[in-house]
């Protein structure tokens, strides 16, 4: 029992340090960006020199960099994400409004991707002489050859404009299918390899000898042992989801975190960029941490 | 795969009964026998095509990139405002975009930019990650730990997000984009540096060099580097298509190179707003991008299997 707590504790601690490091990295990256938000606002609104100074003072932009970093980190720890100058509202507000869209898109894509990958890989193992093994390669090649934004445009052309099956704006199905297919393409091949290898294990021969049918053997005996492959690839899945949601939200006009990230980057909106970047990077770390813990707790091969 | 080769040989030279008798009739060997009996195998042809076709695409793209802009008669910036969003015609083989610019001319210039950004990004990533990785590995101790903690940090960031922040921080232009791509993909090469350095360090020839009193750097430069360059070339080939894709995503999002530059990503972003009226202007760069990406990926995969049978998993799982 204590082993589990130690495991969870160290994973959480490690992840926390990773996120902290990312936050510092993001902070300084954002600070290299030439020109600040006051410059941008004053170009549009014609602020006087004095008003600019005052705004900088209000935003704390006149303080030293380490000081700004410290203030930002403590505020974040207290749940205060700061004020977006660009959108004239608290960053937390912007994030909470954008979050549901992105969460829906990401989880839908995740489910589709996992279902596709597992379905195709399992089918390819059960029926090795069918078209399924070729499908494994096809899906894999697709995800290499077709960046999600290109697939998105092809999808729009085909399903929205030519076939007229779905609307363009606010469409959730098409982007999730595209991201899902992309994610599936990245994990289906390693999963298939592992399933094939697991199928040659002695206990599988025993199961065959017992007279179990192929489907039962794959579902009950082979697949659970390949859980660790999916979990080991969770980093790939998570970054795929993040990258995919950014481009898909922009393409389909979905008001999510990815769109917010791009808008704030283009608008030099420090507080928003920082918060959103930390959120996106942090969620990848969190997914990895959770998957790592799940793997250690449930996979007999990884139990220490 | 020793066994398979043996089975093939037996199947070629002797009647079938013998080959079956020579090896236990497992499912695999029976299948291999069946394959070996077909003198002209479809699988072999497919495998050859999978190398030749991508190679042809890449060579063609390189020729276009090198020779295309010098051919003359093609102006990617000239606007023919009376011929906006037109489909393919004799004057414009791939039609025109929303400002009446020649899509083919822009595609050709874009080919060069994609390859420049991609190759440049790989070179920066390779030299940055490789050099620093080796330096940290030779130094060892706290320096190595600290360096790789930083590498882990960069590696854990979602690639598109990191590239996006970097390119905004560094400013517009091909140079900054190349550096941003290089930094984003540098961790992969840093891991390769560490993995290969450790592997080679355990070899007898390194121990021999050490016993002659060679320094760490000398051993690295004159003994280890020549032995591990294959791993770097392979990894570079694997990273190249991803660099090209990332550049196109950045351009698509409106970041990276200057707004006027006809990169494929920029062309796709602009033309996608008029996709209903003129799909060719979108399809041309989309097809060009995916064709180049898949060809480079297939070649990279071939190269990996040829040159580096020992997989470096840290680098491969990206």
* Domain assignment of residue B292, given as a range: 95-311
Q: Is the dihedral of CA A184, A190, A194, A199 positive or negative?
A: positive
Of B158, B166, B282, the CB nearest to A153: B282
Strand partners, B262: none
Q: Which among B115, B9, B1, B11 has a CA at the least distance from the CA of B63? A: B115
**Interface touch B169/A29, C-beta < 8 Å:** yes
Q: Are B95 and B278 in contact, with CB atoms under 8 Å apart? A: yes
Could you tell me if residue B82 is inside a domain? no
Give the residue on A whose Cα is nearest the Cα of B149. A18
Residue A205, CA distances (Å) to A126, A202, B3, B255 in order: 14, 5, 22, 55
Percent of chain B with pLDDT over 90: 19
pTM of the model: 0.81
* pLDDT number for residue B116: 92
Residue B254 forms contact with A (CB below 8 Å):
yes
For B149-204, the pLDDT digits (tens) are 899 888 888 888 888 888 888 877 888 899 999 999 999 999 999 988 888 888 88
Q: Are A132 and A123 in contact, with CB atoms under 8 Å apart? A: yes
Distance from CA of B207 to the nearest CA of A (A): 35
Task: Give B-chain residues touching A235 at CB under 8 angstroms.
Answer: 156, 317
Could you tell me if residue B268 is inside a domain? yes
Say how far apart CA B193 and CA A261 lie, in whole Å.
Answer: 33
* pLDDT number for residue B130: 92
Could you tell me if residue B32 is inside a domain? no
**Interface touch B276/A161, C-beta < 8 Å:** yes
For B289-316, the pLDDT digits (tens) are 999 998 998 888 888 777 755 544 434 3
Of A21, A30, A149, the CB nearest to B153: A21
Q: How many domains does chain B have?
A: 1
Percent of chain B with pLDDT over 70: 81
Among the CATH numbers 1.20.58.1290, 1.10.3720.10, 1.10.540.10, 3.40.50.970, which is that of A97-268? 1.10.3720.10
Task: Name the residue with higher pLDDT: B148 or B226.
Answer: B148
**Interface touch A145/B317, C-beta < 8 Å:** no
Percent of chain B as helix, strand, coil, to the nearest 5: 75, 0, 25
Tokens 């032995």, located at residue:
B227
**Dihedral-angle region of residue B79 (phi above 0 means left; psi in -120 to 50 means alpha; beta otherwise):** beta
* pLDDT number for residue A36: 65
Buried b (16+ CB within 10 A) or exposed e, A65-80: eeebbeebeeebeeee
The Cα angle at residue B232 between residues B286 and B169, in degrees rounded to 5: 55
Dihedral through CA A33, CA A36, CA A42, CA A44, nearest 10? 40
Task: Give A-chain residues touching B164 at CB under 8 angstroms.
Answer: 246, 261-262, 265
Say how far apart CA A123 and CA B283 lie, in whole Å.
Answer: 33
* pLDDT number for residue A302: 57
- Whether residue B25 has pLDDT greater than 60: no
ipTM score: 0.81
**Interface touch B161/A21, C-beta < 8 Å:** no
Q: Are A229 and A240 in contact, with CB atoms under 8 Å apart? A: no
For B29-81, the pLDDT digits (tens) are 445 555 455 556 666 777 788 788 889 989 988 988 888 777 766 777 777 77
Could you tell me if residue B163 is inside a domain? yes
A-B interface: how many C-beta pairs under 8 angstroms?
A: 118
CATH number of the structural domain spanning residue B154: 1.10.3720.10
Chain A residues with CB within 8 Å of chain B CB: 18, 21-22, 25-26, 29-30, 32-34, 141, 144-147, 149-150, 153-154, 156-157, 161, 232-233, 235-236, 238-239, 242-243, 246-247, 250-251, 261-262, 265-266, 273, 277, 280-281, 284-285, 288
Distance from CA of B302 to the nearest CA of A (A): 14
Mean pLDDT for back-to-back runs of 10 residues, chain A (304 residues) = 76 88 87 68 67 73 78 80 78 88 91 91 86 88 85 86 77 89 89 84 83 80 76 80 87 88 82 87 86 72 54
Distance from CA of A29 to the nearest CA of B (A): 6
Residue B290 forms contact with A (CB below 8 Å):
yes
Tokens 């499908």, located at residue:
A135
- Whether residue B122 has pLDDT greater than 90: yes
Strand partners, A229: none
Residue A146, CA distances (Å) to A182, A244, B13, B289 in order: 8, 12, 45, 8
Distance from CA of B9 to the nearest CA of A (A): 25
Could you tell me if residue B5 is inside a domain? no
**Interface touch B282/A22, C-beta < 8 Å:** no
Assign B217 a pLDDT band (cuts: 50, 70, 90). confident
* pLDDT number for residue B96: 76
**Interface touch B253/A246, C-beta < 8 Å:** yes
């Amino acid at each position: 029992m204590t082993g589990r707590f130690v495991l969870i504790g160290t994973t959480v601690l490690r992840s926390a340090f990773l996120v902290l490091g990312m936050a510092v990295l993001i902070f300084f990256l954002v600070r290299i960006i030439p020109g600040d938000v006051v410059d941008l606002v004053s170009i549009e609104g014609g602020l006087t020199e004095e008003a600019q100074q005052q705004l900088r003072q209000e935003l704390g932009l006149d303080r030293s960099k380490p000081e700004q970093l410290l203030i930002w980190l403590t505020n974040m720890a207290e749940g205060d994400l700061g004020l977006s100058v660009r959108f004239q509202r608290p960053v937390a507000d912007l994030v909470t409004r954008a979050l549901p869209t992105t969460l829906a898109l990401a989880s839908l894509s995740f489910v589709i991707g996992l279902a596709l990958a597992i379905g195709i890989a399992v089918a390819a193992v059960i029926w090795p002489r069918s078209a399924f093994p070729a499908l494994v390669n096809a899906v894999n090649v697709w995800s290499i050859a077709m960046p999600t934004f290109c697939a998105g445009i092809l999808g729009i052309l085909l399903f929205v404009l030519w076939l007229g099956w779905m609307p363009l704006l606010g469409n959730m199905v098409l982007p999730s299918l595209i991201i899902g297919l992309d994610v599936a393409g990245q994990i289906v091949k390693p999963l298939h390899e592992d399933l094939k290898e697991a199928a040659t294990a002695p206990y599988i021969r025993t199961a065959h000898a017992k007279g179990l049918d192929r489907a039962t053997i794959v579902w009950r005996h082979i697949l659970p042992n390949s859980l660790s492959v999916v979990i080991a690839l969770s980093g790939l899945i998570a970054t795929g989801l993040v990258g995919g949601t950014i481009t898909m939200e922009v393409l389909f006009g979905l008001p999510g975190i990815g769109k917010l990230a791009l808008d704030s980057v283009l608008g030099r909106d420090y507080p928003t960029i920082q918060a959103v970047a930390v959120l996106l990077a942090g969620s990848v770390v969190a997914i990895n941490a959770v998957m790592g813990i799940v793997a250690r707790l449930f996979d007999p091969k990884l139990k220490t | 795969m020793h066994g398979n080769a043996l089975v093939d040989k037996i199947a070629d030279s002797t009647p079938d009964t013998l080959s079956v008798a020579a090896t236990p009739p497992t499912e695999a060997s029976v299948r291999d026998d069946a394959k070996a009996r077909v003198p002209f195998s479809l699988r072999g042809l497919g495998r050859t095509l999978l190398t030749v076709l991508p190679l042809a695409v890449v060579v063609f793209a390189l020729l276009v990139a090198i020779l295309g802009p010098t051919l003359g008669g093609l102006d990617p910036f000239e606007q023919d405002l009376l011929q906006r969003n037109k489909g393919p015609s004799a004057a414009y083989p791939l039609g025109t975009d929303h400002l009446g610019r020649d899509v083919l001319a822009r595609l050709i210039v874009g080919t060069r930019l994609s390859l420049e950004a991609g190759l440049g990004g790989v070179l920066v990533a390779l030299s940055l990650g490789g050099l620093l990785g080796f330096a940290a590995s030779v130094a060892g101790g706290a320096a190595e730990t600290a360096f790789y903690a930083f590498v882990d940090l960069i590696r854990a960031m979602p690639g598109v997000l990191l590239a996006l922040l970097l390119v905004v921080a560094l400013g517009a232009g091909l140079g900054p984009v190349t550096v941003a791509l290089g930094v984003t993909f540098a961790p992969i090469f840093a891991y390769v540096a560490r993995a290969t350095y450790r592997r080679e360090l355990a070899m007898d020839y390194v121990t021999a060099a050490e016993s002659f009193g060679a320094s760490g750097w000398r051993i690295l430069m004159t003994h280890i580097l020549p032995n591990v360059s294959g791993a770097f070339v392979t990894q570079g080939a694997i990273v190249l298509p991803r660099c090209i894709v990332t550049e196109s995503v950045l351009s698509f999002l409106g970041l990276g190179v200057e707004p006027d530059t006809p990169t494929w990503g920029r062309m796709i972003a602009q033309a996608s707003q008029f996709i209903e009226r003129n799909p060719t202007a979108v399809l041309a760069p989309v097809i060009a991008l995916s064709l180049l990406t898949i060809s480079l990926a297939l070649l990279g995969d071939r190269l990996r299997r040829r040159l580096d049978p020992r997989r470096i998993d840290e680098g491969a799982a990206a």
